[in-house]
Amino acid sequence: MELFLTEIANGLFLGAFFALVAVGYSMVYGILRLINFAHGDFFMVAAFVSYTILGAVAVGHAHLVWFTVIWVGLLVMFLTGLLAVLANRLIYHPMRRAALLSLMIAALGLSSVLENGVLNIPSWGSAFLTYPVTSPSNGFTIGPTHFTWFQLIIVVISGLLSLGVYLLVSRTLLGKAMRAVSEDRVAAALMGINVDLVIAVVFFIGGALAGAAAVMTGVYYGQINYLMGWTVGLEAFTAAVLGGIGNIGGAVLGGVVLGIAQSVGTGLFGAEWALVVTFVVLVLLLWLRPTGILGERVARRM
Amino acid sequence: MPRNLVADQGRRSVLSTKLPQRGAILILGVLAALVPHMTGNEYYLSVAYQAEVLICLAIGLNLVVGYCGLLDLGFAAFFAIGAYTTGLLSVDRHWTILATILPGVAIAVVCAVIIGLPTLRLRSDYLAVVTLGFGLIIQTIASNLTQTGGPTGIYGIPVLTVGSIVIQSATSFYYLFLILLVVFVFISFRVRNSRIGRAWLCIREDEDAAQAMGIKIHRYKMYAYMGGAVMGSVTGALYAPALTAISPPSFGFSESLLILMAVAIGGMGSVWGAVLGGAIVVILPEAFRQFSQARLLIFGAMLIIIMMTRPRGLFPEGAFRGTVKRLRERFNDRPPPRTLVAPPEAAVRDAPSEGP
């Protein structure tokens, strides 16, 4: 039982990462009906970029290290958002009239380009790199479980960012434009909404959240690898589907549920079965509740 | 092609509609059959039969992705099921290789049903994720169970014998997979022109319209997915003795992606496209062997460029139809006959006037 509680707590932190990446997935899906397979790799590239920047600036500023991490984190969020916008501009935008299948295959191609691009950069490569900043282990204990302050910070940051995006989508004019574009792109354009701009903003937000998740992952787990984006992307997408794709609250909830399921599954069966647990959960859920936990009905385009 | 039917009435062309295609296929077939006589090099032959294996898989996946429009990202799972069933039964239970094909197919079909039943009812982009997960699950199971040999896999798979013929050399595997490929191509064309094939194309083009026409879309999607599973597992079963040792990395996501690329590069829905795509996907990287690290980078970039410039692939369905028509017109000097459909402008201008 004690172990079980620890697993659930760990799952919650895992879920906080998934949720951030899942929100990006879910928003892009909601607006373009595109499974952006490269999204996880935006996350991975962000981890490597932040690794390099932090490696260059964090050394020798031990007392200011958290300040450094914050501004590097913000910078990386911006850069990752830019990367996502660029990918949209160069690949997805010109292909908007193509079949979704072609678009998804192009996304897979982009994913392969990013992964192998990172692999081929000499200072990055295929090894597990140790992240320049690691999280301190001091914290507090509730019952049998030890929590670190950093874990708490992760959950708070992740929650705040998701909440921010949720408010943006549900309360602002820009958010209204996003919802309009996701419902009917042509009609939205006829109402004077700048559809291209809205799509670009969605990509930017998704990328920025992935960037934030990447910096926190690096600090929390302490190592990064060029394949990390693939697994996280997969899990984040599962989380998005789990919660009800196209729905931001659903993405967060799905992330947390998946994180806990995976953490408990790992505790019961061992780490090598984590992915199997993920997908068994997904298949079961799709069988029982095809729209996801909080699912909205999304119009079909394929 | 109603227009062609009308146009062909009243003229006996030197070349019938199908003759050039059949001629080209015959020439290709003869060339393919002669490859082992042109080169005795074992390495080239092994690359050639690996290309054939990938083509077989691509033709199988083409049923699912190309004909029915379902994105399957875990096709290598069926390949793995075929190969592992053969490996396990032949090594542990000492079955002959040929006898292991059927159990492999059976397991693959059962898996296809288990995966397909809940997900084929949903939007097809969910299918993409679930099939992807299925591929990973199969690979994880293979590399974690002791029965399947774990990460080292299964080795010492016995020699494949068909009657008194021993298939062991690269040349004999080349011919074996050539035969399999021809059979798959044949099946693909026959199925395409059948009730099932037409239903698949309808579903791909417009699911709602297909349903409105009374096509049971879930059932036909299931057939497509199962058809792909059968072709994948048969190929896997025959590939196991060619490798003699199988291990999980050969059946991972990158393999699924490679097969999908073959279909996408070749032209979704086109059987010859799958054949050419499969050949390109195996032979090009061999040519780039010295840049082994950058291989997938180049590949990914190629995939993006192909999808951007030719979203339907290099050789989509009907790509050669225009060429054949032009050729036929060149060989045929006679003026085009009167047709029921509006004749082209030039024909109107050159036609003899009907009096003042």
Domain range annotation of chain A: 2-120+148-288
| Shortest CA gap A108–chain B (Å) | 8
Q: Mean pLDDT across the stretch B190-215?
A: 90
How far apart are alpha carbons B54 and B48 in whole angstroms?
Answer: 10
CATH topology of domain A2-120+148-288: ABC transporter involved in vitamin B12 uptake, BtuC (1.10.3470)
| B-interface mutation test, from A279, A288, A291, A297, most B Cβ less than 10 A away | A279
Element (H, E) at B231: helix B217-243
| Shortest CA gap B77–chain A (Å) | 14
List the domain boundaries for chain B: 2-255
CATH of domain B2-255: 1.10.3470
| CA distance to A128, A244, A253, B277, per residue, from A285 (Å) | 34, 11, 14, 36
Percent of chain A with pLDDT over 70: 94
Full-model pTM: 0.80
Q: Which residue has the higher pLDDT, B269 or A101?
A: B269
Element (H, E) at A130: strand A129-130
| A-interface mutation test, from B111, B113, B129, B305, most A Cβ less than 10 A away | B129
Nearby residues of B22 by Cβ (< 8 Å), 6 or more positions away = none
Residue B348 has pLDDT above 50, yes or no: no
pLDDT at A207: 95
Q: Which of B122, B140, B264 sits opposite A275 (nearest CB)?
A: B140
Confidence of residue B105 (pLDDT cuts 50, 70, 90): very high
* Interchain proximity B307–A282, CB inside 8 Å: no
| Shortest CA gap B106–chain A (Å) | 21
* Interchain proximity A283–B296, CB inside 8 Å: no
pLDDT at B347: 44
Of B67, B60, B66, nearest to B82 by C-alpha is B60
- Mean pLDDT over all residues of chain B? 81
Q: Mean pLDDT across the stretch B323-336?
A: 59
pLDDT at A136: 76
Residue A298 has pLDDT above 50, yes or no: no
Confidence of residue A62 (pLDDT cuts 50, 70, 90): low
Query: Which residues of chain B make contact with A110, given a CB cutoff of 8 A?
Result: 300, 304
Q: Which of B130, B137, B312 sits opposite A276 (nearest CB)?
A: B137
| Shortest CA gap A300–chain B (Å) | 7
Tell me the residue type at B275.
V
How far apart are alpha carbons A58 and A67 in whole angstroms?
Answer: 10
Residue B352 has pLDDT above 60, yes or no: no
How far apart are alpha carbons A176 and B300 in whole angstroms?
Answer: 36
Q: Mean pLDDT across the stretch B140-168?
A: 84
Residue B97 has pLDDT above 90, yes or no: no
pLDDT digits (tens, 9 = 90+) for B71-89: 888 999 999 999 999 999 9
Strand, helix or coil for residue A223: strand
pLDDT at A190: 94
* Interchain proximity B307–A33, CB inside 8 Å: no
* Interchain proximity A35–B300, CB inside 8 Å: no
Lowest mean pLDDT segment, chosen from A138-142, A195-199, A221-225, B141-145: A138-142
| Shortest CA gap B352–chain A (Å) | 45
Query: Which residues of chain A make contact with B143, given a CB cutoff of 8 A?
Result: 272
Q: How many residues does chain A have?
A: 302
Most confident of A265-279, B40-54, B277-291: B40-54
Chain A residue with minimum CA distance to B295: A116
* Other Cβ atoms closer than 10 A to A183: 13
Query: Which residues of chain A make contact with B119, given a CB cutoff of 8 A?
Result: 283, 286
What residues in chain A have their Cβ under 8 A from chain B's Cβ atoms? Answer: 29, 33, 35, 91, 94-95, 98-106, 108-113, 115-117, 119-120, 234, 237-238, 241, 272-273, 275-276, 278-280, 282-283, 286-287, 290, 298, 300, 302
* Interchain proximity B297–A302, CB inside 8 Å: no
